[in-house]
Structures are given as C-alpha cells and as structure tokens.
Amino acid sequence: MPTLMTTPAAGRFGGFGGRFVPESLVPACDALAAAFSGAWADPAFRAELGDLLAVYAGRPTPLTPARNLSAALGVELLLKREDLAHTGSHKINNVLGQALLARRMGKRRILAETGAGQHGVAAATAAALLGLEATVFMGERDIERQQLNVLRMTTLGATVVPVTTGSRTLKDATNEAMRAWVADVDDAHFLLGSVGGPHPYPWMVRELQRVIGDEARSQSPYVPDVVVACVGGGSNAAGTFAGFADTPARLVGVEAAGGAAMSSGRPGVVHGARSMVLQDADGQVAEAASIAAGLDYPGIGPEHAFLGSVGRAEYHCVKDDEVVAAVRRLARAEGIICALESAHAVAWVLREAGGPLLPTGSRVLLTLSGRGDKDMATLGEVA
C-alpha cells in the first residue's frame, strides 16, 4: 500500500514534488532542509515544540462525536476539532514549528502568505511569542472578505502587505512572499502555510501537521472506514492522512469545485513544486474560484498529487452552495460553526451519506480545520 514519503532528502513523491526555484534560493532551501532535519532529530527541539503545542496551542484537540448528524445521516461521524486550537485553526501547529526553526537558524524576520487569514494570524501569533518580525502578504480581494483576520494580524504586530496583482488572492500572495524571500534570504524565513512549495516545505509542513492524525488515531475507538478533510494546498489533510496512511481507512480529500486541481488540473509547476495544477490551454496557471479564501488556489500539495495518482487517496469536489448549506447544517445540528474551508469536507459527507461512496453504517473521521468566525460576513451576504 503506498504511504507517505519517508526519505526527505529526495524531495519527491513519485513524479511530483522537487524544487523549481531561482538559483538564488537553492542555498536557502538546502539550508532549510538541513536545519529541519537536524531539529526534527533533536529531542530538545521536539520537547520545546511539544510543550508549546500543549500549554500554548491547546493540544490535544478533542475528537467530538457528531451524534445528531450521525443519527440523521446513518453514519457514525467523529470530528477532529482543530477549530478549538489557539488562533482557531490547525495553522498554529505548523507555524510554531517553523517559527522555532527560524529562531534556531538565526533569522530575524518571518514572511508569510495567507488567503483566509488563518495562517497569517497564526504566523503573527508565533512571531509575537518568539520576538520575531512578521510580514504577511495577502491578496487585496481576500483582505476585503477577511477583515476580521486582518485586524487580528495587525493587533498582533504584523505588517500586512496588500497584493494587487493577478487574481488578488492566495496564489498572488504566495508569489509576492517568495519574491520578498529572494530579496532578504539571509535575514528572513519564508513561513509557508501549506504542503506546497519547493522541497523541504511539503515534507516539513506535513511532519509539523501530522500531530492531527497521530492524535486522532490514538483518540478514535476504532480505525475509521473513511478519513476526510478539505484540501486546498492540503496541509490539514496531509497531517490527518499521516496518522492513517498505514491503515485500511479510505483517505478522502475534498476540494472546491472552482479550485479542483486534482479533478480538473494536470501536471505542472506552481510555486516551486511539480504537482497537479489548474492550467489554461497554453499551459499557464489558471485562476481558481471558491467562496472559501483558503481554498482559492490553483494547485495542490505534491504528496496529495502522488497519493491520488497511485489510488491511495481519492479527491472529490463540492460547490459553493453545498458549502454554505453545510456550515448551517452543522451549526444547527451540533452547535459548531466551522470555517467555509472545513465545510467542504462536511458538505461531501452530507451529500454522499447513504450512497455508494459513503454507505449507511460507515464510520467517518472528519477534520474540522478551523472555526467560522472569519466567515460571518460572507455567510451574511449569501443569506
């Protein structure tokens, strides 16, 4: 059974991954890979990160039985509650690790990209905690629809840089963050929020997020039939899948219909890695579209592309109206308001429960990657 990459030096997941960056960034990527390999093997680093995750980030997050939805749908649904972690999403797991690594490497600044703002908030939080400067690049369109998170970032002391090029969303914010890294590679660390980008980021971010899957596996009273999570770049899904890749559980990633790189893309390079990418007829990266800013991205992490290509994971998509309905259904059934991103996974379960993809009686573990406070204005507009 194909599982997750265990040889990080290669930086490859089958035919995906690698490092496609300007020559000026190769030494920085090499140094980062070496630094993370050393830190991850250092018991003192792991202990410091573990302590922060426990006493600062609030881990372990609970595994909550969704009893009312389970009864209504005819499946047994467990929710891994990353929405209850400090800052309101799974992003804190990765940023605490990378911020500690940046400090260990002697970096003074962190640079981050953000779409929904959750990664930006988490990066600003870790920077404040560890005494680092933080600059967060965010598309102008996302700034407009995620004002709450912009205010949270600036309150935490971060500089938020509006990105006005291209689609003015996550792809363009990532472009600008990488350009800033090229210009200040000696003093700054690029704190990438997902499992995309050049090696070592896909491996490093997955390892920092695997706490989700490891916890969920130990908390669950059984090995689920299906493990499901939303996927944009795919860090919460990669972290969740890491805990179950060596089990018989089906691994299901749910994309936005307007950003479904696995369903509608083809192999290509975006932000330094070869993966599945939305492209136009000329091979240029196409624009994605989603009601969820965090999934408004034309690519997917290369490990997801690999797992999908060999059949170990499956990827489906849902439409915006299904996502909105899922937020409301979960809120009214369980009293939990999840993020629009997380609601993609919920929407898939709601749609497929009782059908051939999710038969009655299935045991489902679903990662709620974040809470929905940030999306109230968007939900109000589509009421």
Determine how many CB atoms are found less than 10 A away from the CB of residue 248: 9
Q: Catalytic annotation on 113?
A: yes
Place of tokens 């749908």: 73
Long-range contacts at 58-65 (CB < 8 A, ≥ 24 apart):
58/84, 58/85, 58/86, 59/85, 59/93, 59/211, 59/215, 60/215, 60/219, 61/85, 61/212, 61/215, 62/219, 63/215, 63/216, 63/219, 63/220, 63/365, 64/334, 64/336
Determine how many CB atoms are found less than 10 A away from the CB of residue 331: 15
For the CA atoms of the chain, what is the radius of gyration? 19
DSSP 114-142: ESSSHHHHHHHHHHHHHT-EEEEEEEHHH
Q: Catalytic annotation on 37?
A: no
Which 3 state secondary structure label does DSSP give 215? helix
Catalytic hit among 113, 207, 215, 352: 113
Q: How far, in Å, CA of 98 to CA of 66, rounded? A: 33
Do the Cβ atoms of 93 and 211 come closer than 8 Å? yes
Catalytic hit among 107, 167, 369, 374: 369
Q: How far, in Å, CA of 65 to CA of 67, rounded? A: 5
Q: Catalytic annotation on 171?
A: no
Catalytic hit among 80, 91, 171, 374: 91
For residue 190, the 8-state DSSP code is: E
DSSP 62-86: PEEE-HHHHHHHTSEEEEEEGGGSG
Q: Which residues are catalytic?
A: 91, 113, 369
